[in-house]
Structure 1
Amino acid sequence: MTTALITGATAGIGAAFARRLARGGHDVVLVARNKDRLRESATELHDRHGIEATTLVADLATEEGIAAVEARLADREHPVDLLVNNAGFGNKGEYLDVPMADELAMLKVHCEAVLRLTTEAVKGMRDRRRGAVINVASVAAFVPRGTYGASKAWVVQFTQGAARDLAGSGVRLMALCPGFVRTEFHQRAGMGTDNIPSWMWLDADKLVDAAMKDLARGKSLSIPDPRYKTLTSVAKLVPRNVLGGVTSRTGRKYGPK
């Protein structure tokens, strides 16, 4: 039986990954900050699917939190076959409105943690010649708007570059770029969503199903919805200064996951 480790596993896309993988018979390691929610999620997955669900309390905005997850990924006696780097958050406000400490915390979660955890996981996977990493980015990666989008653009570029370097090793890496997903993400960041058209919202479980199919197909980039595939294709054709002006009027606070 294979084991998947999921960060940000108690809500939203992370919880959807946990449900999908447990339903498929995978043992899971759930990583998040809230001990009670972790225990509740693990119990539910174990009782419903009969898999082993363990928990790891870790705040990936801290050195201690990242190191704790690295240590679990380095355990060769209990290898992790699939890593899902899903933990993340957004800051409300435009550039210079957000405290530098908050910006740096976001970069630590989105970039440093993703780099370090991916690297630790891939070391063992390459030795075993099997395994996969899904790094959750965002369609915001393709829009020149704010630190959030910039950090997610880094996730996409890093993941696709590493995937090329690991070609033929038996290890697959994929960047997942969802759009607006009905999760706790916007509420936690204090972001309003009233102006988001209903057609732009995605279901987390359907998104994860599509992502897993893209991973099985060997894709290094997954934009798991035709609507957002079209939007990102258009975004690549629009001049950057025009696109930046449009997203500025839309407002950073409405950025997708």
Structure 2
Amino acid sequence: MPTALITGATAGIGAAFARRLAADGFSLVLVARDEKRLVSVAEELRLRYGVSSEVLAADLVTDEGLEAVERRLGEGVDLLVNNAGFGHQGHFLDVPAEEELRMLKLHCEAVLRLTLAALPGMRARDRGAVINVASVAAFFTRGSYSASKAWVVNFSESTAIEMAGTRVRVMALCPGFVHTEFHERASMDKSGIPEFFWLSADNVVREAMRDLARGVRVSIPDLRYKVIVRVGRLLPLGLIGQFSRRLARR
């Protein structure tokens, strides 16, 4: 039975990955900070899908948490989903520096370290995959969040090229607005975002797994966001920045 380790596994896209992979017959390693909630999710998956779920409570903005997950990855997994992340309310200059550093620790250092912990075993077995959850924001300019997600995309593409010639795949997943707890946790007002732009986490995961099977290196779920990114790449950077600022004010 293949094994998948998912960070940020108790809600949103992480929980959707857990459901999809459990249905596909994966044994799961669920990682998040809240152990009580992890246990509850693991029990739900066991009852619904009959799969075993290992619970690993870890705060990935701490070295202790990262080291615990690195050790587990060193034991071997077939799929790593680096999904844990968060956003900030407000403009860059209004956010305390320590909060910006926490974001970089989680979005960049954790993705780097956990990918590096998983890949040697995958390469030795000549099979496996890493999905790094980024965002459509990676293709636009909006503070440190979009900058960190742009790093995830570039890192994932570069690592995928490093794995060329093997059966190990690395993919960046770049969803748009998704109905999850993400915005509530950041105290963000969602009322200014039209319903047209919202995606479901389950649909995002379904498209991600399809793209992974096809060998896609950067997955952008849903046609509407593929068009937005394609158009955005053709526009001047200054114009994109103005659009991003106006959207943020809304």
Q: Deviations over 1:13-47 (max 9, x none)?
A: 00000000001111000000001110000011111
Cα RMSD for the two superposed structures? 0.8
Which segments of structure 1 move beyond 3 Å, counting only runs of 4 or more? none
2: distance between equivalents of 1:189 and 1:99?
Answer: 14
SS at match of 1:88: coil
Structure 2: gaps (5+ residues): none
Residue 224 of structure 1 and its aligned partner are, at CA, apart by 1.1
Q: Equivalent residue for 1:167?
A: 164
Which residue does 1:113 correspond to in 2?
Answer: 110
**One-letter amino acid matched to 1:44:** E
Match of 1:7 in 2: 7
The alignment partner of 2:95 has SS state of: coil
* Structure 2 match to 1:41: 41
Note the alpha carbon deviations across 1:43-77, whole angstroms, 9 max, x for none: 111111111111000011111111110010011xx
Paired residues in the alignment total 250
The code of the aligned residue for 1:176 comes to L
Displacement, 1:250?
A: 1.3
How far off its partner does 1:201 sit? 0.2
SS at match of 1:180: coil
Structure 2: which amino acid aligns with 1:182?
Answer: H
| 1:143 Cα offset (Å) | 0.3
The answer for the alignment partner of 1:67 in structure 2 is: 67
Are 2:100 and 1:103 aligned? Answer: yes
TM-fit CA distance, 1:246: 1.2
TM-superposition CA deviations, 1:158-199 (whole Å, max 9, x none):
000110011012110000000000000000001110000000
Supply the AA of the counterpart residue of 2:113: R
- TM-score of the two chains, using structure 2 as the length reference: 0.99
1:27 aligns with 2:46: no
After superposition, the C-alpha distances for 1:84-108 in whole angstroms (9 at most, x for unaligned) are 0000000111111000000000000
Alignment of 1:136-215 (within 5 A): 136-215=133-212
Normalising by structure 1, report the TM-score.
0.96
Counterpart amino acid of 1:236? Answer: R
Residue segments in structure 1 that go unaligned for 5+ positions in a row:
none
Shift of 1:214: 0.2
**Within 2, Cα distance between the matches of 1:249 and 1:209?**
31
Secondary structure (helix, strand or coil) at the match of 2:202 reads: helix
The one-letter code of the counterpart of 2:106 is: V
SS of 2:80's partner is strand
